Amino acid sequence: MDGLLIDSERAISQAWIAGARELGFDLKMADFVRVIGTAAQQSTAMLIEIMGSEERMRAVAAKARALLPQAGGAPVFPLKTGALPLLESLHAAGIPCAVASSSSVDEIRHRLGHVDVLKYFKCIAGGNEVTHGKPDPALYLLAAARLGVAPEDCIAFEDSENGARAAQSAGVRVVIVPDLKQPPDDVAARAHGVIGSLGDAIDHVPHWFPSL
């Protein structure tokens, strides 16, 4: 979801960096990028390590949250380029879709509902529903099970290294759509494809899902 369907990672990272700066802490983009694509428990632990204490991390988190656009008391973000046309194409082709996100189920429903695309997803698998988040494959295995489709018959669209590794470990074919950073060579080499935006996937739908 974040960084792939909705343009959130850039805004979130900038808010964290600005919030840290207000509190006199120099948070580097390279450090924050390490957190992207991890489940809440993992990302919290990483941010505490980066910032040196839980107290500082929570203070920066509060500053960052205040800097983000809000609706209904929670952050909101716009759809990424190509997301809606691809979802419409998949829906027209009768291809069931799921969200496999490190965010919580409530966050998924709020953010995707705000941009009116929640209706395109048959099911959701959230980071709060699994013991181990990405790059562990559990989230993708859960999403595939809820779709009622074998993992090897699924395609995952991912922007993050952790997400791509999670899907690959689950046996899911991965199409990478880089957001804030390019995938490592080993991840890209195992990918089903690397494209510039979700819109670039539309022409491939008949070939990637030939049985539907």
Q: Is 174 helix (H, G, I), strand (E, B) or coil?
A: strand
154-191 per-residue burial string, b: 16 or more CB within 10 A, e: under 16: bbbbbbbbbbbbbbbbbebbbbbbbbebebeeebbeeb
Show pLDDT as tens, one digit a residue, over the chain (212 residues): 989 999 988 888 899 999 999 999 999 998 888 887 777 778 889 999 999 999 999 999 999 988 887 766 666 789 999 999 999 999 999 999 999 998 899 999 999 999 999 999 999 999 999 988 889 999 999 999 999 999 999 999 999 898 999 999 999 999 999 988 888 999 999 999 999 999 999 999 999 987 65
Tell me the C-alpha distance between 142 and 61, whole Å: 29
63 with 12: CB under 8 angstroms?
no
CA 22 to chain centre: 27
> In the chain, what is the greatest distance between 2 CA atoms, to the nearest angstrom?
56
pTM: 0.84
Q: How many CA atoms lie within 13 A of 147 on its CB side?
A: 25
